[in-house]
Amino acid sequence: MATAVTADQRRADELGVIARKQRSLWRDALWRLMRNRAAIVGMVVIGVAAIVALFAGVLAPYDPVTYQNTPKALMEPIWTQFFGSKFTDPGYILGSDALGRDILSRLMYAARISLVVGFVPVSLVFLIGATIGMLSGYLGGWVDNLLMRFTDIIYAFPDLLFLVIIVATLRGTAFGEILGGLVLIFVALAIISWVGLARLVRGQVLSLKHREFIEAARCIGVPPTRIMIRHLFPNILAPVIVSIAFAIPGAMLAEATLSFLGIGIRPPTPTWGGMINEGFVVFSTTPWPVLLPALCISTVLLAFTFVGDGLRDALDPRMKI
Amino acid sequence: MLRYVIRRLLLIIPTMFFVALITFTLALAAPGSPFDRNVTRPLSQETLERFNRYYGLDRPIPEQFVIYLGNLLRGDLGTSLTSRRPVVDLIGQGIGTTAQLGVQALLFALAFSIPLGIISALKQNTPIDYLSLLVATVGTTIPGFVTAIFLIYIFGVQFHLLPFVGWGSWQHMVMPTFVLALGPGAFLTRITRASMLEAIRQDYVRTARSKGLREQAVIVGHALKNALIPVATVIGPAAAFLITGSFIIESLFSVPGIGRLYVQSIQGRDYPMVMSTTMLYAFVIMIANITVDIVYGVLDPRIKVS
């Protein structure tokens, strides 16, 4: 590297201009992202949620699953005592649910499920979607035909409808019971969402594969696998990153919706959607067991959207919608 | 154009076939029989066999699928296992309410999103633009059931302004319609804004201005006319959004439509009901998508429809 810098320097001296350190496109994008205030706020919120989820075992004051003493059921958050509520208990900062379980502890453990559902299926989607999209776009032929026919059918179903019918029918099977239904949700989400990414990657590859730099690589005998990995992949990464940034909150939202409908993660494992479902029965008298998880979902989803918007603006300023 | 329309319409057949195949396979993979619900007093072997024979569940699986397809073609969607009534009747009973809710929500979404998107584009980077972007971001990000919960809390529980259980009077319709409209509306706002921003920078708009047209005529007659074309394409996805939204919103507000029926039949493992409703939804969405593609071709002849 040292010689390169001096060579640049020498050339710059010859031309009589000031040599400037080269900045990569990625560094530029990072700089733009860091100047986006909403994206920074989003990242901080996600960071806090991740720390809470990771250390829920240490931070949570109670066990989220075992029942506490029932006389302490449906306690209200401690600040409501200043507004005349008699049902507060200093032990339960955010109150308790109908079974006397501490809401704060349950919210903390539920953050785990939400984040895991956000990241694990999306990694699967990335692996499957990017590989198939790349093969389909670059090689064409029957792989491409098959993919396009398959996407036509998947697109006739709205995502959530498909997800609901897969999860509803398979959750009673042995497979649907692994980890309280978590694995089924991972797989179902992956099955539905890889198609969109594959289509995106395919389109990008199609637009690039006749460009000069790919032709040049082909001319000097670079094997197809290497062209795809070393030459095509880095050039399509930006839209893929943006699409994944939006897929994460999408997956979290899907899990919350399923749990809210009562066909998501099995109780007693706490999830934000499940807490809303369980608390809704007593909503008109004690709204807190529903309002608090609703607040958590909204905050985290907004945070991810802000980061996604920031990434989109940073990586491709032309894509602004 | 006609050939394109015919091809798109013919494509419905294989797609619906696969949708039927997928729902059928999934329903088959589901464990448990609809008749083993009562654990304390299980049905006798003989009764069970009679039930299975009556509902055709003793036939080979491929044959069951063929029978199912044949019945679908004749408009016989089977009998609900929980209420013992024909699925067609149950769907017929709820479809009016669901359609009314959906149409109201779509109209409301269009009514607020298009003006908001236009104003926001004309006054780019002003407070009103930021406000509409914030509304659009929140509307697309926060799930409908969460928004519904906050609204029920404020207007239903705290101030008793609006009822939040049931359907009938206009007061009952306010909250479900608003919540259902929010998602598609927010999305439409974004699209309208983006497409209007592009339109007002075009040469023909500059020409219209330079020949001395009033600003109003320039915006409405020239820019808007072209800016709304992409908006039309969003109505297909919006239909999908309204359908998936409807079963959550209907369950939450106890609206007696097919959305709530769908959720109930999922929870009650009523497979004929689940399968038929899924098929119906897929069909409606496919028709919406095809209509949008055709309308798009008519509105904008530059689009090649091959």
Q: Per residue in A129-170, pLDDT tens?
A: 998 888 888 888 888 888 877 777 776 667 788 888 888 888
Q: Which of A237, A229, A247 is nearest to A26 (CA)?
A: A237
pLDDT for A321 equals 42
Contact call for residues A114 and A300 (beta carbons, < 8 A): yes
> CA of A75 to nearest chain B CA: how many angstroms apart?
18
Nearest to B142 among A155, A173, A301 (CB): A301
DSSP B115: H
Per-residue pLDDT of A85-116, as tens digits, reads: 777 777 777 878 777 788 888 899 999 999 99
Q: Which of B34, B245, B154 is nearest to A260 (CA)?
A: B245
Give the number of beta-carbon pairs within 8 Å between A and B.
113
Which residues of chain B are within 8 Å of residue A280 when distances are taken between CB atoms? 252
Cβ-Cβ contacts under 8 Å for A32 (sequence gap 6 or more): A313, A314, A317
Cis peptide before A267 (omega within 30 of 0): no
Nearest to A262 among B243, B267, B274 (CB): B267
Nearest to B243 among A158, A166, A309 (CB): A158
Tell me how far CA of residue B41 lies from CA of B36, B37, B54, B81, B268, in angstroms.
9, 9, 21, 18, 18
pLDDT for A248 equals 92
Return the residue of B nearest to A171 by Cα.
Answer: B30
CA dihedral for B114, B118, B121, B125, sign (positive or negative): negative
| Token pair of A129 as six digits | 């979607």
Q: Are the Cβ atoms of B281 and A256 closer than 8 angstroms?
A: no
Q: What is the pLDDT along chain B (306 residues), one digit of tens a residue?
A: 778 788 878 878 888 888 888 888 887 777 766 666 555 666 777 887 887 787 777 778 888 888 888 888 887 777 787 777 888 888 888 888 888 999 899 999 989 998 999 999 888 888 988 888 888 888 888 888 889 888 888 888 888 888 878 787 888 888 999 999 988 899 889 888 888 888 888 888 888 888 888 888 888 888 888 888 878 777 777 777 888 788 889 988 888 888 888 888 887 777 778 888 888 888 888 888 888 878 877 777 765 544
Q: Which of A125, A123, A44, A24 is nearest to A307 (CA)?
A: A44
Lowest-confidence region among A123-132, A168-177, A238-247, B27-36: B27-36
Q: Count CB atoms within 10 A of the CB of residue A37.
A: 10
> CA of A245 to nearest chain B CA: how many angstroms apart?
13
Which residues of chain B are within 8 Å of residue A320 when distances are taken between CB atoms? 194
Q: Are the Cβ atoms of B194 and A320 closer than 8 angstroms?
A: yes
Which of residues 250 through 309 in chain A touch B, CB cutoff 8 A? 253, 256-257, 260-263, 276, 280, 283-284, 287, 290-291, 294, 297-298, 301-302, 305-306, 309
> CA of A58 to nearest chain B CA: how many angstroms apart?
29
Contact call for residues B117 and B196 (beta carbons, < 8 A): yes
Q: Are the Cβ atoms of A302 and B141 closer than 8 angstroms?
A: yes
Contact call for residues B294 and B288 (beta carbons, < 8 A): no
Nearest to B282 among A156, A160, A320 (CB): A156
Per-residue pLDDT band at A252 (split at 50, 70, 90): very high
Phi–psi pair at A88, nearest 5 degrees: -120, 160
> CA of B211 to nearest chain A CA: how many angstroms apart?
31
Which residues of chain A are within 8 Å of residue B251 when distances are taken between CB atoms? 261
**Residue A211 exposure: Cα atoms within 13 Å on the Cβ side:** 12
pLDDT for B41 equals 66
Per-residue pLDDT of A270-282, as tens digits, reads: 899 999 988 888 8
Angle at which helix A288-315 crosses helix B127-141, to 10 degrees, equals 120
* More confident of the two residues B253 and A81: B253
Q: Count CB atoms within 10 A of the CB of residue A217.
A: 17
Return the residue of B nearest to A302 by Cα.
Answer: B141
> CA of B57 to nearest chain A CA: how many angstroms apart?
17
CA dihedral for B176, B142, A152, B227, sign (positive or negative): positive
Phi–psi pair at A172, nearest 5 degrees: -85, -10
Q: Give the SS3 label for residue A102.
A: strand
Instruction: Characterize B57-77 residue by residue with b for buried, 16 or more Cβ atoms within 10 angstroms of its Cβ, and e for exposed.
Output: eeeeeeebbeebeeebeeeeb
Which residues of chain A are within 8 Å of residue B27 when distances are taken between CB atoms? 169
d(CA A214, CA A224): 10
Q: Give the SS3 label for residue A61.
A: coil
Instruction: Characterize A81-113 residue by residue with b for buried, 16 or more Cβ atoms within 10 angstroms of its Cβ, and e for exposed.
Output: eeeeeeebeeebbbbbbeebbbbbbbbbbbbbb
pLDDT for A320 equals 45
Q: Are the Cβ atoms of B15 and A152 closer than 8 angstroms?
A: yes
Q: Which of A303, A314, A281, A269 is nearest to A50 (CA)?
A: A303
